[in-house]
Amino acid sequence: MKREIEGLYAGAATRGIAWVIDQVLIVVTLGVVAWFVTTTYGLFNIDLQNCEASSGSIWYYACVGARFGLGIFAVAFSPIYFIFFWTLSGQTIGDAILGIRVVRLDGKPMTIPRSIRRFIGYLVCFITLGIGFLLMLIDDQRQGLHDMLAGTCVIYAWRGEQDTQTVARLQNWMTERRRPAGQEPTANSKA
């Protein structure tokens, strides 16, 4: 049995996978940029990890500038990445792969301030050791703390279906486990 899920609230697993993909992309991008800058500087015999070796020359300042720039890029890339994509289409690359989209609860387009608010909510969730993310397991709109702060939610944006048979099977299994010993199984659990 299948159930169409397009337009419904997306759950934690899908969003988590998308987030992991985004993080991988961010890390890869940061690594590639760092590798590119380091390699480029290496052509000029400048080691970015040891700028003091070329102290006293102009290369020293170039080395320090590159290290500072890389640091700023590493810090700023992640928020820019998320804010840019959320504002542009509501989908980061990971979200697009998993077919989910961040939208406002009132159905209007995402804006930069709202995306910034959502990213701040991300940070708050991390600070609270992920408790803010767990809210989406309980909330009826599957909103995490960051969604609540920004007034957003995440929906499935693809014409897919959910395997309700598997869900039903697992539900029966859990019901059986929770059933006290000696009690007759219900008609649903038998099925």
Q: Are 124 and 132 in contact (CB under 8 A)?
A: yes
* CA atoms within 13 Å, Cβ hemisphere of 59: 15
CA 47/CA 28 separation, integer angstroms? 21
Closest residue by Cα to residue 150 from 106, 88, 187, 186:
106
Q: Which of 63, 142, 146, 147 binds another protein (CB under 8 A)?
A: 142
Query: What is the closest distance, in whole angstroms, from the C-beta atom of residue 166 to another protein in the complex?
Result: 6
| Cβ-based nearer residue to another protein, 24 or 108 | 108
Q: Which of 16, 22, 9, 17 minimizes the C-alpha distance to 134?
A: 16
Rounded to whole angstroms, the Cα distance separating 133 from 107 reads: 22
* Shortest distance, position 179 Cβ to another protein, whole Å: 13
What type of residue sits at position 46?
A: I
User: Quick one: which segment of 57-65, 67-75, 118-126, 155-163 binds another protein (CB under 8 A)?
Assistant: 155-163
Question: Contact between 11 and another protein (CB under 8 A)?
Answer: yes
Q: For residues 6 and 52, which CB has a smaller minimum distance to another protein in the complex?
A: 6
* Binding residue (CB under 8 A) for another protein from 55, 171, 186, 188: 171
- Site residues (vs another protein, CB under 8 A): 5-14, 17, 87-90, 97-99, 101, 103-111, 113-114, 134, 137-138, 140-142, 153, 155-158, 160-163, 166-167, 170-171, 174-175, 178
